[in-house]
Chains A and B, each alone.
Chain A
Amino acid sequence: NAGVTQTPKFQVLKTGQSMTLQCAQDMNHEYMSWYRQDPGMGLRLIHYSVGAGITDQGEVPNGYNVSRSTTEDFPLRLLSAAPSQTSVYFCASSATIAKNIQYFGAGTRLSVL
């Protein structure tokens, strides 16, 4: 009964380093999304995917890349980390039959020094 799994849970990077936040879901959901949560800002959409091979930008896409080669996985890549990317990152999945309900992973807390 895994649902949406995010790894790692915590990460510290230095400015300029790259890394990939992993997200996997086992519910066969076609839709997957990445959000970031900053203090006092709620959650904001970074990128999303409506199916394998199809991705698009959300509200705050700059500095992030995504790809979706399988239904299950939707990794988020930071090519050159910046302190402004210090945040908590959430992955979510949904399905047409789920009526807009998004199921969230436990989040990744990222600090960029």
Chain B
Amino acid sequence: AQTVTQSQPEMSVQEAETVTLSCTYDTSESDYYLFWYKQPPSRQMILVIRQEAYKQQNATENRFSVNFQKAAKSFSLKISDSQLGDAAMYFCAYGLGGSNYKLTFGKGTLLTVNP
């Protein structure tokens, strides 16, 4: 079974600084996707960024980028120019290709942004 591990239960960053959240996963599959979801206090799950395993290029979305190391099974999220609105719980998730109905989630990292 696939597993997703987020080793940092909590992180903090100063406003305007950069922070990196870690995620590792375990799979024997070659066709899969990786995601970072943000969950603010409102509880809504918001997709931050998505990476396809077969693409070597790291995904970016504005201030958010990933460092995808396929051989090491590592998928970290970098948030640049952190803003107060970035404060949230962040979940790393794994999805097997063709299995659109299931994501395997890590336990989450709570990010605090200090003014």
Contact = CB atoms under 8 A, between A and B. Distances in A.
Interface of A: 30-33, 40-45, 48-50, 58, 88, 90, 92, 94-96, 98-104, 106-107, 109
Contact of B102 (A30, A41, A58, A95): A58
B84 interface: no
Interface in B85-106: 91, 93, 95, 97, 99-103, 105-106
Nearest to B96: A100
Contacts of A88: 43
Given A100-B50, A102-B100, 19 more contacts: A30-B100, A32-B101, A33-B101, A40-B107, A42-B91, A42-B107, A43-B91, A43-B103, A45-B103, A58-B102, A92-B45, A94-B100, A96-B100, A100-B33, A100-B97, A100-B103, A102-B103, A106-B42, A107-B43
A99 B105 contact: no
B68 to A, nearest CB: 15
A101 B52 CA distance: 11
